[in-house]
Structure 1
Amino acid sequence: MPAVPTSTPTPGSTPTPGPADRSRPAVSVENVYKVFGRRPVKAVQRLTEGASRDDVKNLGTAAVIDASFEVAQGEIFVVMGLSGSGKSTLIRMLNGLWKPTAGHVRIGDDDLSTVDAKRLRALRRTRVSMVFQHFALLPHRTVLDNAAYPLEIQGMPREQRIAKATEALEMVGLGGWADSLPSQLSGGMRQRVGLARALAADTDVLLMDEAFSALDPLIRREMQEQLLELQRTLHKTIIFITHDLNEAMHLGDRIAVMRDGRIVQIGTSEEILSEPANDYVAQFVADVDRTRVLTAQSVMVPPADGTTYSATSDDSQYVEQDTPLAELFAPAAESAAPLEVHDDAGDLVGVIPRDALLEAMVPGTEPETTTEAPGSDARGAMGAPPTDEPALPGPATTKGATA
């Protein structure tokens, strides 16, 4: 089968909310197939020989076809696809609800394709927890008891589990609602209870199946921000399932795009937006606001002649690598020189000429690989940002100015 297109991250790429450890994957999926129907094994054989999903319909329904990926410890890995793409089937194999027809799903060193029922129960108690789309709270139990429920299943003494559940509720901002019933909470608050329940279990891997899809847009955004804030502290391995491209790009360190049971591309949001693997992905990302996804890092070019020092022009401007494209227009307009891009140590790692900034707004264009050094006579036509997306103040700093 053809390899899934993946993008090679560039040095100094945008940091994740928590440090992902890629030396040993927390989750690995290797050539996984899931076929429902009369003759699933025969269907897999046909698929490996090059048959399409439609070709094997008489043998069964191919829900997942030859899926392979690894998720690093501390990474948020988003699986995105439309209805029928296979993403929900995939997550059910990740928690052991369904076994693959072929292939291997591993949580750490445990192969869910071969573990016995006792070991699988232990993994669900201690290694993998899940946040559901529709909350799955026990209506007759208080918020606190719902959050403590997985610890009760583990056999933890009540005093200890109440302490851990209370801490988890505080993390999600529900410390004052411990004695309430789920019926007394809003939808967003109930989803926070579900998140607290997963956090209280303190598992290595957190599976989130369309966890925010049932919420209204404002609450959904708040939950996304809260998840990212928690991740900066907890560094969990999170596999997040969604059909929403904007949500995927906002949350994911990396994204796997699924279509018709297959993973068609894996990469960061910037890589998928800048280098779509095929026409389907290109159409999918066509309406994405590039100014909110692309960063200075993704549109900068190396200084000419290997320049590694900062410019000395008094009016030159610099930005950090992770500054969003939307925030580059204002500082770019302040100086005729290209914008400098600095790393965390303050060293010059690239520049952004005006023409490269404008080209980044148009899908399918890429900046040249070299440009004039900062402070040179390089010029480009500089237009205003789109009228429906005003430029925002960015972390640009004028040389010589005091903080």
Structure 2
Amino acid sequence: MTETTVETTTTDTAIDFLYLSEPDMVAAGVTDMAACVDTMEEMFALLGRGDYRMAGKNSDSHGSMISFPEEPEFPGMPRHTEDRRFMAMPAYLGGAFHSAGVKWYGSNIENKLSGLPRSIHLFVLNDVETGAPRAVMSANLLSAMRTGAIPGVGARLFAPEDSKVVGIVGPGVMARTALQSFVVARPGIELVKVKGRSERGLNIFREWMEREFPQIRVEFVDTNEAAVRDSDIVTYCTTSGGSPENYPVLKREWVKPGAYLAMPSSVSLDDDLISDDVRLVVDNLGLYEAWADEFPYPTYASIPIVGCFFTDRVHEGKLAEERIEDIGRILASGGTERDPDQIVIFSIGGMPVEDVAWATRVYERARTLGIGTSLNLWNTPVLA
């Protein structure tokens, strides 16, 4: 009589994930700007080698957005207002991160009337092999810090090493986190010149500077020109919708030779600022190709990010495509020497791979420190 041996496989089907509230995120180091700048630099090198995926036909899309009509046809449907949208931003990032995730947020400018942020962000970090959630985390600080860290990566590569003066147009949250990263990259900064629109905003910025950087002098100025002139580092961090003719102005004649211009928002450049002696860098060429496909020319009217101004000029035959450099490819190739008198414009569009990178590092630290609340998805799935 022959015995039949039956092999059995035992698997653990239970899935637990970590919930991280905003206080948990702070405790896990989400506001550590120096570590965030290092993480973003590592992320860009992976992008330069191609070890990542985002959404869209070219795997480089910013994300998928729900917007609303000016005059809704159905009762209860939201009406379009400034920044009224829902958006999902998924990505995979390889290398030491080897993580996937998605940032999901709703946005409404009217939130400010009730004391809420304009956008409210949540991030889900997933296991790459199974797709199971590893963490669900509060993401407003995550998003703000990674956004601010990107200008600092550019400053490490392109800002004068002895930078002492920063010019800011638009002193909101984005400007504050960008300044944090500038100080990480160029700790010799002594003066910040600020052009704002409201006394309240300027007061908030002044109080923040007194807490965070009491060693740095702050000067409030009345014009964009005054903020830009004689500055080693310049950033425009405004919120501007509508036509590019209404974007805040930046002229070549104001810009100091060798200045680094970090642009995470809209700005109206004169043509002299895309002349052959100005270096034009973007955070990811594929991102702007995706935007040009999703929002056909003139893209800059729909997506107020300077790199879209560059691609519009390529479309018009006014700029050679090869003039636009990719920071990831620069880093992946080992960097490049900088002409000390060359102006550099760095366009910053924002990408979900940045969220994945910083979320992964914060999650790892939370696990190490025992921070957060473990939640159960299931022990055994009903529909397996």
Compute the TM-score of the two structures, normalised by the length of structure 2.
0.29
Higher RCO, 1 vs 2 (CA within 8 Å, ≥6 residues apart): 2
Larger radius of gyration: 1
TM-score normalised by length of structure 1:
0.28
